[in-house]
Amino acid sequence: MTGGSSGIGLATARAFLEEGARVAITGRDDRRLRKAAKELESLGKVVSIRGDVSKAADAKRMVSETTRRLGPIDVLVNNAGIYVNKPVEAFTEREYDAVMGVNMKGTFLCTKFVIPSMVRRRRGAIVNVASDSGLVGTAGSSVYCASKGAMVLFTMAVALDHAKDGIRVNAICPGEVETPMLERDAKGSGLGYETYLKRLTEPIPMRRAARPEEIARGILFLASDESSFMTGAAMSVDGGATAR
């Protein structure tokens, strides 16, 4: 579980542990990871592994250390992600590299290092946490949209490559979710949290944001045998936002 110390990642780790899975959570902030692992440890076997998914050496080490400590990886959830809201002309090259590096390159690297073991065992499920912004354009989010759109097509292509190997690869595309990242965006907007959230959710048919637990249940479904005939899918969980 990449990006497992808060928000969707933390909620998903909890959901998997409640189903009896052994879980590794990864992230760049060791303090937050340890805090999250302590919060989860009463539910089952959980380990925290610090690393940056956008760096090949870190991604490879996270996969090997997870295997060493927990056994072969049956499910990979590529959840780590960052968001920068700026029009394209205001984006710096450094910001572009950061968004694409974590969101898309991180997904590529973790998948690259997990796949060989899954192929040998002829089993495995990969769930990529994309976004509704990977399916439709979002104003002010061109680079983020590009990274998440790339994740969706990467999901489909890898699914086609490895369907014969018993590996399923799917994407979940959340809309707005009440996470620490959304709270940071609200703070940066200069608006109060409630005002920011109201403006953000007004266009959504269900008129609210998701709770992280609602996205976690979708991830759990895509990783489980309940979705055994699904591969190469991009499943929207967005309150109807992309149905317009």
How many Cβ atoms sit within 10 Å of the Cβ of residue 187? 12
Dihedrals phi, psi of 170, to nearest 5 degrees: -135, 160
Q: Which of the 8 DSSP states describes residue 89? A: G
Q: Which residues contact 179 (CB under 8 A, 6 or more apart)?
A: 6, 7, 8, 212
Q: Which amino acid is at 179?
A: T
Which of the residues are catalytic?
A: 144
Is the distance from CB of 212 to CB of 151 less than 8 angstroms?
Answer: no
Rounded Cα distance, 233 and 183, in Å: 29
Is the distance from CB of 222 to CB of 235 less than 8 angstroms?
Answer: yes
